[in-house]
């Protein structure tokens, strides 16, 4: 099965190739190549028509939340216009399209986990471009699958885990917010879900529409940071000793863009369809930290 993968160097893309390189015929256009730069959607569209894949996975995105307002045209092109033409190409080719999205399409109010049917109402430019991308994907390809994710993490990439660890090395006290809640989610676990989705399509039983995936359970950013620090100390990482985490609120930070506070995702729909039970976020994050500790020791 020939699969074109956009974002092969990202957290999910690299996990897909690491775990399932031999399971599919992966074609991974690079940004500097024709059809690989999502800032040129028409080229992406022509590239896909030329390659004629049986499936397309879009794991690429403009994810710099605070830069999105300043580079709105670029964010809109990468997160909405390029996926729209991927979807159009998929529809014309009869290819299965898996497009990755985010919990940031919601406003983050309340404490209930977001369901796929809940109304989108993003609070920042990044979320608005991703929400628009979802709308355009389904407009151009009603058979596409949109997979929303939350708090993605993987070793060797820029994310909350790596950023927090860097701050721990440089500071004796690290301020972390207590009012943002979600599920730290392993990119490897996401890759396993995508593998199942592609396999179902290959077997003639594809899923379509919008689905949520995250590791099981919820925590605040502060609780996540506490867990990370505890694991680092237990692993004997010298610079982790005598460090303190200080409680803070999102409103304490002068961020150019608001952040949704409630990033919980309800995953029952996908788990039921795929007959899966996601790992607890602690187990998934622990696996990432084990890899991280091995690298720095």
Task: Report, as residue numbers or ranges, the catalytic residues.
Answer: 126
Question: Is 211 exposed, middle or buried (CB count within 10 Å of its CB: 0-12, 13-18, 19+)?
Answer: buried
* Residue of 267, 273, 289 lying closest to 113 (CA atoms): 267
Neighbours of 252 (CB within 10 A): 11
Q: Is there a contact between 218 and 185 (Cβ–Cβ < 8 Å)?
A: no
DSSP per residue over 178-217, as a string? SS-EE--EEHHHHHHHHHHHHHHHHTT----EEEE---BS
- Write down the H helix ranges in the chain: 11-20, 41-51, 72-76, 82-93, 125-140, 160-170, 187-202, 221-234, 268-274, 281-296
* Sign, Cα dihedral of 60, 152, 142, 136: negative
Adjacent-strand bridge partners of 176: 247
Question: Is 276 exposed, middle or buried (CB count within 10 Å of its CB: 0-12, 13-18, 19+)?
Answer: middle
Neighbours of 186 (CB within 10 A): 28
In this structure, what are the phi and psi dihedrals at residue 75, rounded to the nearest 5 degrees?
-65, -40
Q: Which string of b and e fits 57-82 if b means at least 16 CB within 10 Å?
A: bbbbbbbebebbeeeeebbbbbbbbb
Q: Is there a contact between 122 and 97 (Cβ–Cβ < 8 Å)?
A: no
């Amino acid at each position: 099965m020939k699969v074109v993968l956009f974002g092969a160097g990202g957290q999910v893309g690299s996990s897909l190739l690491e775990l399932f390189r031999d399971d599919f015929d992966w074609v991974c256009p690079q940004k500097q190549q024709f059809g690989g730069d999502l800032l040129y959607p028409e080229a992406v569209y022509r590239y896909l028509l030329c390659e004629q894949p049986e499936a397309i996975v879009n794991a690429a995105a403009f994810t710099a939340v605070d830069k999105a307002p300043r580079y709105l045209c670029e964010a809109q092109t990468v997160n909405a216009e390029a996926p729209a033409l991927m979807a159009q190409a998929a529809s014309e080719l009869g290819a299965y399209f898996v497009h990755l999205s985010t919990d940031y399409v919601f406003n983050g109010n309340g404490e209930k986990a977001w369901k796929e049917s809940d109304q989108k109402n993003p609070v920042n430019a990044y979320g608005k471009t991703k929400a628009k991308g979802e709308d355009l994907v389904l407009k151009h390809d009603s058979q596409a699958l949109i997979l929303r994710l939350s708090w993605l993490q993987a070793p060797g990439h820029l994310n909350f885990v790596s950023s927090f660890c860097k701050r721990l090395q440089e500071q004796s006290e690290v301020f972390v917010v207590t009012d943002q809640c979600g599920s730290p989610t392993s990119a490897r676990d996401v890759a396993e879900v995508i593998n199942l989705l592609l396999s179902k399509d290959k077997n003639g039983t594809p899923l379509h529409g919008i689905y949520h995936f995250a590791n099981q359970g919820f925590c605040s950013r502060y609780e996540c940071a506490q867990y990370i620090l505890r694991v680092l100390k237990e692993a004997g990482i010298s610079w982790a000793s005598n460090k303190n985490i200080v409680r803070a609120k999102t409103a304490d930070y002068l961020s150019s863009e608001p952040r949704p506070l409630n990033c919980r995702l309800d995953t029952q729909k996908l788990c039921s369809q795929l007959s899966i039970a996601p790992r607890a976020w602690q187990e998934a994050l622990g696996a990432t930290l084990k890899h991280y500790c091995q690298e720095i020791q």
